[in-house]
Structure 1
Amino acid sequence: MKLRLATLLGDYPGARAVRNGTVKSPLFELDICDAKVSNRVFPRVVNSREFAVAEIALVTFFQARAAGRPLVLVPAVIGAGRHQHQCLVYNAERSGPITPETLAGKRVGIRSVGQTTVTWVRGILQNDHGVDLNAVRWVTFENAHLDGFADPPGLERAQGDKPLLDRLYDGELDAAIIGTGLPDDPRLKPVISNPLQAAREWTLRNGAVSINHMVALDADLARERPDVVREVWRLLCEGKRIAAEPRVEGFDLTPFGLEANRASLALLLTYAEQQGLLARPLTVDELFDDTTRALEMAPHTDNTETTV
């Protein structure tokens, strides 16, 4: 009898063939969670053992791993890959121009201090623009996904249920970090000028891309069934191949394999530690176990089960 693996995997181009059964395994069936937005399920991934296979935001995974939660990472980037420099915006109708150099004292809205996009942007501001993060008035709207994690000191919590974007439009916030769902609105201008060019230069300088989500496995499953781990990896690789996602200015924003992601993971770990988000320091290799650490993209073979 096939295993049934409780799975959280968003409906992204690279995951679609896995979700709809175009690629499947003789070892197991994936019981896909029907959540419309994966990040709303991330607390269940790190606070219970509900899922055997799960998409997870990287900073959430780092926090869970540092706290000893039984999860291991698979080096497969999942989701809509993007640069992050354009995600910090201000409302030019209410204020501005705002630049990294003028952020001190400004009220900047963030969904959560542990949000991966927020960690990337704050790290870029601190390390590339010399911004003193403690001089900015960060306004949060949600707790971290991991139970028991307390926000670092110095943050403000928004009062009431008025959405972040409405507060930015109304002038209650000077700026905001907005990832998925950033409106195409001419009033919203990037704080980092020429953000796509800045992101390209940042990527070349660091040899990294600002990845957000990967796949995690239950640690016991990974230890006891390395054959299942390798099959999960095979399906993810086939899904990526089928999607044939275009490169952005030559960059693969959803890279697979540990070495392809090592520099990005190391940099994000540095940012997370600088920002006080981890219970203890972590190395890149600690995120994986012996099986997942060895996974690399393989040439296409003819033994992949497909449906038409």
Structure 2
Amino acid sequence: MKKLNLSFGCWDYDRIQSLTNGTVQAEGIDLNWLNMPVEETFWRMMRYQEFDISELSLSSYLIAKDRGYPNFTAIPVFMSRFFRHSGIYINKNSGIKEAADLRGKRVGIPEYQLTACLWIRGILHHDYGVHPKEMNWLTGGQEEPGRVEKIKLSLPPEINIQPIQNDQTLNQMLEYGEIDALIAPRAPSCFLNGSTNVQRLFPDYVSVEKDYYERTGIFPIMHVVAIKDEILEEHPWAAANLYQAFVEAKQKVYEGFNQTAALKVTLPWFVSELENTKKLMGDDFWPYGLEKNRKTLEAAVTYSYEQGMIKNKLRIEDLFAASTLEEYTLI
């Protein structure tokens, strides 16, 4: 039988390397991998549905499922995960010393619906008592002017949000104190370049994030893998075959990490970091599948619903292809 040829838009992660170099193959499928930055992949998939399979923002995916368009369905494979306490940057002259001080402040954000921003707003609300309505939101390009939301939003009226000027960037505004804080998945260049005006809200973010995980058991999910519904309708077996291949490809990464004769990763103390991560999070510290991620997914849905980006409290089971919901083992 001729293999199904499917385009796959995704960034260059170690956890897909075995799929892209052919070491691991999804049975019955040839993947045509298109390596692009995540922002480009998301834009093209949400606006134009250009790929058969795509890495996709979890927040954007929840909005699509809530609205019933675009029509794609995810498998419980999570390309990107990230503890996001590190993603809050403040101007040192803003008077912000702790999370509570964000109330009433001007907070820049590239797009309100970004998954990183969804998580940070949820954490600020649930862990620190700072509701999104208590901040003044400004949206726009972080490093280049002109960025707009990839999805038109209908937010609650109490959310004060407005775009910055077409010739402004959030990076410059943070540097010069025209905004008090920036919440973003990417570090602003002023911070990376050592600005004396900008710092993280949580300088010791690793300790804060480890404490968050120990308290909640949540490892925030940023990106899912979504498949066009028309593909699944014509080839319903494709979801499970793809899921199995992604699981196997991730296992190859774990196996490489466990080789200590030579470092697989370009970090001098990687072995120590791996040991510490396993001690905190277990051997499968980047889990796929629904049940191992139920609590994290339910938190994301709750935050999206509370923040007014989705209008219905989506069932976790309805987010993923049915054939990928249960794990099975060979006897």
TM-score class, shorter-chain normalisation, is 0.7 to 0.9
**Structure 2 contact 155–307 (Cα < 8 Å) conserved:** no
Structure 2 residue 250 is matched with structure 1 residue 250: no
Segment of structure 1 superposing worse, 175-184 or 205-214: 175-184
Return the offset for 1:161. 3.4
**Structure 1 contact 53–216 (Cα < 8 Å) conserved:** yes
For residue 277 of structure 1, what is the amino acid of its counterpart? M
Partner of 2:40 in structure 1? 40
Return the offset for 1:218. 1.5
Tell me, in whole angstroms, the C-alpha distance in 2 between the residues paired with 1:258 and 1:177.
28
For residue 106 of structure 1, what is the amino acid of its counterpart? K
Segment of structure 1 superposing worse, 3-12 or 222-231: 222-231
Distance 1:254 1:143, change over 3 A: farther
Residue pairs, 1:142-153, within 5 angstroms: 142-146=147-151, 148-153=152-157
For residue 239 of structure 1, what is the amino acid of its counterpart? A
| Structure 2 unpaired stretches of 5+ | 141-146, 258-273
Length-normalised TM-score, structure 2: 0.81
| Structure 1 unpaired stretches of 5+ | 302-308
State the secondary structure of the residue aligned to 2:280.
coil
Partner of 1:21 in structure 2? 22
Structure 2 residue 173 is matched with structure 1 residue 174: no
Residue pairs, 1:77-92, within 5 angstroms: 77-79=78-80, 81-92=81-92
Return the offset for 1:86. 1.4
Partner of 1:207 in structure 2? 217
Segment of structure 1 superposing worse, 258-267 or 223-232: 223-232
Runs (4+) of structure 1 moved beyond 6 Å?
Answer: none
State the secondary structure of the residue aligned to 1:33.
strand
For residue 250 of structure 1, what is the amino acid of its counterpart? L
Q: How many residues align?
A: 295
Tell me, in whole angstroms, the C-alpha distance in 1 between the residues paired with 2:315 and 2:208.
27
Residue pairs, 1:97-116, within 5 angstroms: 97-116=96-115
Distance 1:227 1:132, change over 3 A: closer
Tell me, in whole angstroms, the C-alpha distance in 2 between the residues paired with 1:77 and 1:130.
29
Residue pairs, 1:271-286, within 5 angstroms: 271-286=303-318
For residue 10 of structure 1, what is the amino acid of its counterpart? W
* Aligned mate of 2:297, from 256, 265, 269: 265
Return the offset for 1:239. 1.6
Length-normalised TM-score, structure 1: 0.86
Tell me, in whole angstroms, the C-alpha distance in 2 between the residues paired with 1:162 and 1:218.
37
Larger RCO, structures 1/2 (Cα 8 Å, 6+ apart):
1
State the secondary structure of the residue aligned to 1:250.
helix
Identity %: 27
Segment of structure 1 superposing worse, 188-197 or 23-32: 188-197
